Chain A
């Protein structure tokens, strides 16, 4: 028996999953890592700790399996999160700056220029200003980076560099497309952008496809080909086998991410979506995607647990929310990292509105789940407007799909059925597929499609008058989040 090993290096946890040829989960190991919030708006990770976690997880997941039985390893990762490390010691020069971090300033950036070059709006979300921030504030760092003594990478680069004992400094095109340094036309680092952000070329990894053998792993997985690297949300698109233009999925983890395959030409959004690379298999043409990014979905649930202590585990949000019929008039806009798609308002901050003495923690729990529902509605509306087609069903995946109430809320708010595929861990599955294809473990994409089955679905049910009223309230709540920001006077852009 042989397997493919997928790594899902996410925002809150790292997972290793062993898949068999029928794409079923054989073994799972997972480790949560700490989120560090040293100041308001700052979010950091310890990259060295994440690498240690990965080594331990690989050993655990392979219990009873010989590395020779592993046909390939594929890596999916949290995107944009920025790691800078010393080439000779392999030690990170600073804590990794996480994608949710809002410490950088993007107010002076030229939106039109950036959008045309990279497909991305100016936002603290992407890597470029994070690298710039570190280089500007750490004495001597830029000089070391110019000499190539300090390297940049997103988590994929960092892990591959470590897995190969420092032999390979590469990234894939999906991850590179989120740095705000890659030109979407030729898929290479753009000299003008590097100049704009003051990022030396010498510190950047080589951009490769998402599915090819980059090299072989060292000590922890001797001789196993490293055959895929792909951003987690793109991996989920691939794992859901959305191979045809027009096919889309939404992944609910820390954030929520709706991606639609747009084929081999990049489509520019006029409704606040991102143009991004979906995946690239070997030397085939790259496939692009439109993306609606929601910064805070599951992490709002985590905040209820860790920040407020109102629940003991994430799942209890559903138990608590089900003790009431409705939100009692209360709405939460979780603009913890500003608002992402379709608003792109980095200065917005979270609000809870509609409070009266009537509101209990159960209403808050309901409002937490509804916030994910309405944010999904916002990005789906934008996607429909951009594509000129109305989505007829929403394919979902990720940890939050365990929440039946949430899935019903999403169906109700979108007024379309919500469909869950048989593997909820589609991020890992996508990484496994991309790696398996590269080494011939699976023969082609049609092969993969046959593994896909519906595991569950939720039908829309909410009365349309009620839905319209609730949606109007949500929009007013969003305006409050924007109004509260320092430059809120401009209103929604």
Chain B
């Protein structure tokens, strides 16, 4: 197979594998794919395994033959199945609530909002009700800021839709918001202090699938005095718990 200098060879080869599988209705063996592309069998195998990992090809467990995967069909529909995400996050969201003592939410981008796909109560056994399915503002919550920080189109459409003020601390200026998102990206977690509801703060971190793609955000929310210090800075121990939970969920999501 010819290779253009300056291009990444393994991406060229992977694309060729996908084209080959898409070309006909037949499922192919590793050997057949290797022969068709003039690759060593071991190289073809590594490419197929990687493509399988990201969901672009599937192997029939009975015949060991490969075909295109469901992940390709889902390319158009952004993100991962919200219920799947909840299933993967369950253990780690519970552990985060237990360690931080605060309520936990898992959110995804949905139509200019944060859609809460999972909610764990604050572990104090007080009366609380499930928030799953609720939509929160993107620019005013920690979850939302994390989701915006890793999606330029989402930031653009949020700004276009108008940055509604919820409290006097809500970021309603697009430049201020852009700065906050840059800061979020730089440190790897997001903070919102009384920007949505007076007295309430939130800390959140991104959930990533393979390749680093952000598919959601996980975070805690609670009274300002518990989540932040006297200078309204996030308490480092809580940040650590949130970031660790996000990392564990990411590991599960990336498989």
> In the complex, which residues of chain B have a beta carbon less than 8 angstroms from the beta carbon of A456?
119-121, 130
> In the complex, which residues of chain B have a beta carbon less than 8 angstroms from the beta carbon of A370?
none
Bound-state Cα–Cα, A71 to B208, Å? 34
Bound-state Cα–Cα, A316 to B74, Å? 13
Stretch of A83-91, A164-172, A420-428 on the interface side: A420-428
- Within A19-62, the residues touching B (CB, 8 Å) are 22-26, 28
Interface string of A412-435 (1 = CB under 8 A from B): 000000000011110000000000
Bound-state Cα–Cα, A15 to B130, Å? 28
B41 at interface (Cβ–Cβ under 8 A)? Answer: no
Interface string of B43-77 (1 = CB under 8 A from A): 00000000000000000000000000010000000
A8 at interface (Cβ–Cβ under 8 A)? Answer: no
Bound-state Cα–Cα, A22 to B123, Å? 12
B90 at interface (Cβ–Cβ under 8 A)? Answer: yes
A313 at interface (Cβ–Cβ under 8 A)? Answer: yes
> In the complex, which residues of chain A have a beta carbon less than 8 angstroms from the beta carbon of B82?
319
Let me know if A453 and B83 touch, CB within 8 A.
no
Let me know if B125 and A312 touch, CB within 8 A.
no
Stretch of B12-20, B92-100, B171-179 on the interface side: B92-100
Bound-state Cα–Cα, A24 to B97, Å? 10
Q: Which listed residue (B83, B98, B119, B123) contacts A315, Cβ 8 A?
A: B83
Q: Which listed residue (A22, A26, A424) contacts B90, Cβ 8 A?
A: A424
> In the complex, which residues of chain B have a beta carbon less than 8 angstroms from the beta carbon of A457?
121, 129-130
Let me know if A402 and B87 touch, CB within 8 A.
yes
Let me know if B87 and A315 touch, CB within 8 A.
yes
> In the complex, which residues of chain B have a beta carbon less than 8 angstroms from the beta carbon of A319?
81-83
- Within B148-203, the residues touching A (CB, 8 Å) are none
B111 at interface (Cβ–Cβ under 8 A)? Answer: no
> In the complex, which residues of chain B have a beta carbon less than 8 angstroms from the beta carbon of A26?
95
Let me know if B98 and A453 touch, CB within 8 A.
yes
> In the complex, which residues of chain B have a beta carbon less than 8 angstroms from the beta carbon of A313?
81, 84, 87
> In the complex, which residues of chain A have a beta carbon less than 8 angstroms from the beta carbon of B87?
313-315, 399, 402
Shortest B94–chain A CB gap in Å is 5
Let me know if B94 and A25 touch, CB within 8 A.
yes
Q: Which listed residue (A28, A404, A422, A458) contacts B97, Cβ 8 A?
A: A422
Nearest residue, chain B, Cβ from A404: B132
Interface string of A179-213 (1 = CB under 8 A from B): 00000000000000000000000000000000000
Let me know if A315 and B81 touch, CB within 8 A.
yes
State the interface size on chain A (CB cutoff 8 A): 29
Residue among A26, A401, A422, A455 with the highest chain B CB neighbour number at 10 A = A455
B27 at interface (Cβ–Cβ under 8 A)? Answer: no
Bound-state Cα–Cα, A197 to B199, Å? 68
Let me know if A25 and B91 touch, CB within 8 A.
yes
- Give the tally of cross-chain contacts (CB within 8 A): 76
A247 at interface (Cβ–Cβ under 8 A)? Answer: no
Let me know if B120 and A24 touch, CB within 8 A.
no
Bound-state Cα–Cα, A401 to B119, Å? 13
Interface string of A365-409 (1 = CB under 8 A from B): 000000000000000000000000000000000010111100000
Let me know if A455 and B70 touch, CB within 8 A.
no
Let me know if A312 and B94 touch, CB within 8 A.
no
Bound-state Cα–Cα, A22 to B95, Å? 10
Let me know if B123 and A24 touch, CB within 8 A.
no
> In the complex, which residues of chain A have a beta carbon less than 8 angstroms from the beta carbon of B86?
315, 402, 404
- Within B108-144, the residues touching A (CB, 8 Å) are 119-121, 123-125, 128-130, 132-133
Bound-state Cα–Cα, A457 to B99, Å? 20
Decide: A424 near B123, CB < 8 A? Known: A24-B98, A313-B81: no
A291 at interface (Cβ–Cβ under 8 A)? Answer: no
Residue among B87, B120, B133 with the highest chain A CB neighbour number at 10 A = B87
> In the complex, which residues of chain A have a beta carbon less than 8 angstroms from the beta carbon of B120?
422, 455-456
> In the complex, which residues of chain A have a beta carbon less than 8 angstroms from the beta carbon of B97?
422, 453, 455
Residue among B94, B132, B133 with the highest chain A CB neighbour number at 10 A = B94
Shortest B219–chain A CB gap in Å is 16
> In the complex, which residues of chain B have a beta carbon less than 8 angstroms from the beta carbon of A454?
121, 123, 125, 128
Shortest B200–chain A CB gap in Å is 20
Shortest A402–chain B CB gap in Å is 4
Let me know if B98 and A422 touch, CB within 8 A.
yes
A80 at interface (Cβ–Cβ under 8 A)? Answer: no
B→A interface (CB under 8 Å): 70, 81-84, 86-87, 90-92, 94-95, 97-99, 119-121, 123-125, 128-130, 132-133
A-B contact pairs, 13 of them (CB 8 A): A22-B99, A24-B99, A25-B94, A313-B87, A315-B81, A318-B83, A319-B83, A399-B87, A401-B90, A402-B90, A422-B120, A424-B91, A456-B130
4 smallest CB-CB distances across A and B, nearest first, come from: A453-B123, A315-B83, A315-B84, A402-B87
